[in-house]
Chains A and B, each alone.
Chain A
Amino acid sequence: MAVRVQREEFDAAAEVRTLVDGRTDVGGAVTFTGFVRGEAQGKQLLTLTLEHYPGMTEMELQRIEDEARARFELTASLIVHRFGELKPGDPIVLVATASAHRAAAFQAAEFLMDYLKSRAPFWKKESFADGSESWVDAHASDCDALGRWDGPGLTQK
């Protein structure tokens, strides 16, 4: 039941321990961690810089989490997303979901990632070893992934 936007690295295992600490209504927890890949467009990546929209980012992540909790029977959930300059191998995003039975936790984790990728106001800029830089283009596949979740949900006004 929390969202965090931070520059600092996170510890996925510690976050899950905290999420379920002292609880007896959790039958399973699912975590997804996204990492920075060392190659993009066939080139060696030096850094990945994430820009975001302070204020809206937190609000949008909260709206996405609220939507997940309305759709799935979760007992706990957490979204942590980093911003700033990251390097290959660094963790970018953490989604953790806990529920009495595993199906809800698995589904909710995937739902959160699909919505987050297409709605949370983050933008990635890649800097390559050859000195070039470019903003990452949005993938049509990320937008299409929303199509499998029924209902109007978080559609635009």
Chain B
Amino acid sequence: MSIAETSEARSAGVSNSQRLTVRYFAWVREKVGRAEDVLDLPAEVTTVGELVAWLTTQGPEYARAFERASVVRAALDQVHVKPAHSLKGAREIAFFPPVTGG
């Protein structure tokens, strides 16, 4: 089951769920196989870390991308955050490897 299917099924039946754009960069993007997903957040998923755990159950590509979950970094609405951070009110989350600019 893909996230897109889940998302459609949920949006048909749930009126006030939180819609979140999930973006992937660098090798996280390559492992997931696309640059972003749009999903309706399950009610039980309230933190960044819980979202990672939920994503890994959504298909082998997510399990592979988050295999080394402690290495993957996150930004919520374009600000660096840690796994315990709340998703409340967020519109966009991004997952990526440690940055290597400069």
Contacts and interface: CB of A to CB of B under 8 A. Distances in A.
Interface of A: 34, 50-53, 55-56, 59-60, 81, 92-93, 113, 116-125, 135-138, 142-143, 156-157
B97 interface: yes
Interface stretch (B10-18, B37-45, B55-63, B76-84): B76-84
A92 B99 contact: no
B97 A93 contact: no
A94 to B, nearest CB: 11
A124 B100 contact: yes
Interface in B41-96: 75, 78-82, 85, 94, 96
B26 A56 contact: no
B100 A56 contact: no
B101 A124 contact: yes
A18 to B, nearest CB: 22
24 contacts: A50-B101, A52-B101, A53-B25, A53-B75, A53-B78, A56-B78, A59-B78, A59-B79, A60-B80, A93-B102, A116-B101, A117-B100, A120-B101, A120-B102, A121-B25, A121-B75, A121-B94, A123-B27, A124-B100, A135-B97, A137-B98, A137-B100, A157-B82, A157-B85
Given A51-B25, A53-B75, A121 B99 contact: yes
A135 B27 contact: yes
B85 A121 contact: no
